[in-house]
Amino acid sequence: MSIKDQIEALRTALRAHNYNYYVLDKPTISDYDFDMKLKQLQALEAEHPEFYDATSPTLRVGGMVTKNFDTVVHEQRMYSLDNSYSKEDLEDWEKRIRRVLGDETVEFTCELKYDGASISLTYEDGQLVRAVTRGDGFQGDDVTTNVKTIKSVPLQLKGDYPPKFDIRGEIVLPFEGFAKMNAERVANGEEPYMNPRNTASGSLKLQDSAAVAKRPLDCLLYGIVGENTGIRSQWEMLEKAREWGFKVPTVAKLCKSTDEVMAFIQHWDIHRHDLPYETDGVVIKVNSLQQQEELGHTSKSPRWAMAYKFKAEQVATVLNEITYQVGRTGAITPVANLAPVLLAGTTVKRASLHNADQIAKFDIREGDTVFVEKGGEIIPKIVGVDFSKRPQNSTPTQYIGACPECHTPLERTEGDAKHYCTNYYGCPVQITGRIQHYISRKAMDIEGMGSETVTLLFQEGLILNYADLYTLTKEQVMPLERMAEKSAENLVKGVAASVKIPFERVLFALGIRFVGETVAKKLAKAYKNIDALMAATEEELIAVDEIGERIAKSVIEFFQNEQNREIIARLKSYGVQFELSADKLENQTEKLKGQTFVVSGVFEKVSRNELKKLIEDNGGKVGSSISSKTSFLVAGDKMGPSKRTKAETLGVQIISEDDFLAMV
Ligand code: AMP
Ligand code: ZN
């Protein structure tokens, strides 16, 4: 092979490995082998400067020093975003959009708002030619040499990219890398950095690009600007950018309504702390680029986009101790025991640490001063460590290896961040936890009995599982602490009354891992009785609407267990409901099986909700918007004309209320 070919082969291989490692997060060779290849390429390039290439992976290690960063005018202005803080703000925004777009269908792409430093990357013929900071929006600083060291920024694109375009994104410093950098700084007696955002933007302006290369920076992209890109929507933009090799977070959703947007916001307000990098809100964008163009910009921001800022009140306090809780399914939750601190009007003493990964991500240690935040959830969260206050003798947190209650070694399954105690039938907290769940209000709603009573009954050896509840007698219960004749009688009566609780709630009460209220309802409806459900295979379960592999596996595992089968047989013998009640079954048919209906407008004989219920009771599906998958559009009075046009173009049959009622 000629020298030129060798160099090219190495560059191609290293590019692919970089992409696998930094964009996909799925390396296919060892770090050592990677370094060897890189060294080989560096040596060849040094000997043969005639084969220089501005996109060579060797440029990632940096080395060029920039004394002054040139000012570059953005070909297209980098706008700011309008902010919103409530559902009302968003509804007002939608109203303003409606004034321009009328009752055209509007879809929204929701993305997270990454908290770092904005960047604009220019690509020509698939090569990165320039990286410029946002600056004042009109012009910024040329930081190309530094940005080239960020491994997830592609220097050479793949696929069918347009000849010239800019792509915008955010340069972030993920928590884990930030914690590592700070741990090193503290160890070297240097001042730790304040927060990931400032450190990320500071990094871009370092003069020595080799120093930038050492920082674990990441670049997340969200927007392409350019002419003739052939892209028609924001969603397609994200997909295309991903295809060309950019890192585009998959946490994004195409939403059909403001309700769906709100659901996305509420979900991520809570779950954003599980992400590897910092986010401070959601960005909602009108999906169609044509509609974006119609809406245009104000003097400072696009009218087609809106940032929703998460509310967050933060305080710092000392983490005294990390303890571990065992849940009813055996899941272990680490808990931070804090020096009491006032946050959003309440005194906080404890915070959830979620799992081992979360602790490692922030490098949280006992004795640390931590930042505690209250978001959409009731339980406050730890969102960072104040490294400047880390005590001298601090050591990294060692996660427990065995259950704190029964000392069984913990296990962790792939795809699940939690550790589990697998001693399901012997671990005392799991036993009582399951029974406590069984009697709870949303499950069997057993009156006259509370969580402490369950613990007492278990400690006295009177119950080992929820089936044992049904054989309890007044005489057995009366001697318990704080029990009197009357309360003992109520307890026994409460248990007896629970045989009336409908099947779907019984299914929820059984406490199968991942089977919450909604899933229990779906399963009850699909299988009608427990015997059919117990006989179902994994494939059959997955075929049920909204049931995935994780749930299916858990259901199978639960029913395969001999003890569970025995308990269910006993519950049956006591009269607990294990099939859908006759009146529920009576109104249910399979007449509409396999068909999807979209309901629109106002109806005369039945309400919209009744109509939807009729569809579901007869085995049909209710869709939220018309697509090629829609079988029928049930059209009421005052239905929007755009819906009708859409149904007509897609060949979806339009039927009236009477037509529909005749079908069922
Ligand atoms: P602001 O600085 O508050 O005006 O917000 C605008 C900035 O949000 C932009 O300059 C972007 O860098 C940043 N941003 C972060 N994530 C996104 C996203 N998904 N879409 C658009 N802008 C984003
Ligand atoms: Zn245990």
Closest-approaching ligand to the CA atom of 109: 1
Given a cut of 70, whether residue 630 has pLDDT beyond it is yes
* Residues in Cβ contact with 33 at an 8 Å cutoff, skipping those fewer than 6 apart: none
User: In Å, what is the CA distance from 253 to each residue of 166, 290, 516, 548?
Assistant: 23, 19, 23, 19
Mean pLDDT calculated for residue range 199-225: 94
Query: Residue 355 above 80 pLDDT?
Result: yes
pLDDT at 423 over 70: yes
Three-state SS for 228-287 is: CCCCCEHHHHHHHHHHCCCCCCCCEEEECCHHHHHHHHHHHHHHHHHCCCCEEEEEEEEC
Distance CA 443, CA 448 (A): 15
Judge whether residue 617 has pLDDT over 90. Answer: no
Rounded-to-integer distance, Cα 115 and Cα 570, Å: 55
The distance between the two most distant Cα atoms of the chain, rounded to a whole number of Å, is 96
Would residue 26 show up in a list of annotated catalytic residues for this protein? no
Beta strands 410-411 and 164-172 are unpaired
Proportion of the chain above pLDDT 90, given as a percent: 66
Q: Report the nearest atom of ligand 1 relative to the CA of 83.
A: 3
> What pLDDT, on the 0 to 100 scale, is given for residue 571?
97
Q: What three-state secondary structure class fits 175?
A: helix
> 61 vs 35, 213, 590, CA distance in Å?
11, 5, 63
Using the predicted structure, report yes or no on whether residue 469 has a pLDDT greater than 90: yes
Does the Cβ of 81 fall within 6 Å of ligand 1? yes
> Is residue 376 scored above 60 in pLDDT?
no
Reported as a pLDDT band with limits 50, 70 and 90, residue 379 is: confident
Going by alpha carbons, the residue nearest to atom 16 of ligand 1 is: 113
What pLDDT sits at residue 375?
64
Output the pLDDT for position 132: 97
> pLDDT per residue over 550-566, tens digit each?
899 999 999 999 999 99
The 10s digit of each residue's pLDDT in 14-57 is 999 999 998 888 888 888 899 899 999 999 999 999 999 988 99
Tally of CB atoms within 10 A around 142:
17
Question: Both tokens of residue 344?
Answer: 């959003």
**Ligand 2 is a single-atom ion; what residues have CB below 5 A from it?**
403, 405-406, 408, 421, 423, 427
What is the rounded CA–CA span in Å between residue 521 and residue 77?
51
Q: Taking Cα atoms as reference points, which of 453, 450, 443, 462 lies closest to residue 504?
A: 443
User: Is 170's C-beta closer than 6 angstroms to any atom of ligand 1?
Assistant: yes
Q: Are 399 and 407 in contact (CB under 8 A)?
A: no
| Averaged pLDDT, 146-157 | 95
Q: Which amino acid is at 49?
A: P
The rounded mean pLDDT for the chain is: 91
Q: Say what the pTM is.
A: 0.66
Burial of 304 (0-12, 13-18, 19+ CB in 10 A): buried
Q: Is the pLDDT of residue 638 over 90?
A: no
Mutate to test the pocket of ligand 1, among 283, 284, 292, 300 (most ligand atoms within 8 A of CB): 283
C-alpha–C-alpha distance, residues 90 and 350, integer Å: 34
Per-residue pLDDT at 274: 84
How far apart are the C-alpha atoms of 69 and 597, rounded to whole Å?
A: 59
pLDDT of residue 377: 59
